[in-house]
Amino acid sequence: MEMVNLKLYLENRCIIAENERLRERASALRRENLALLQNLSSRTAAVPEPGAGAA
For the entire predicted model, the pTM comes to 0.69
Residue 32: DSSP 8-state = H
CA angle 22, 27, 31 (to 5 degrees): 150
Q: What is the pLDDT of residue 28?
A: 99
Q: What is the pLDDT of residue 13?
A: 99
In a structure prediction context, what are the per-residue pLDDT tens digits for the chain, which is 55 residues long? Answer: 999 999 999 999 999 999 999 999 999 999 999 999 999 999 888 877 777 665 5
Q: What is the pLDDT of residue 45?
A: 85
Q: What is the pLDDT of residue 30?
A: 99
Task: Provide the percentage of residues in the chain whose pLDDT is more than 70.
Answer: 93
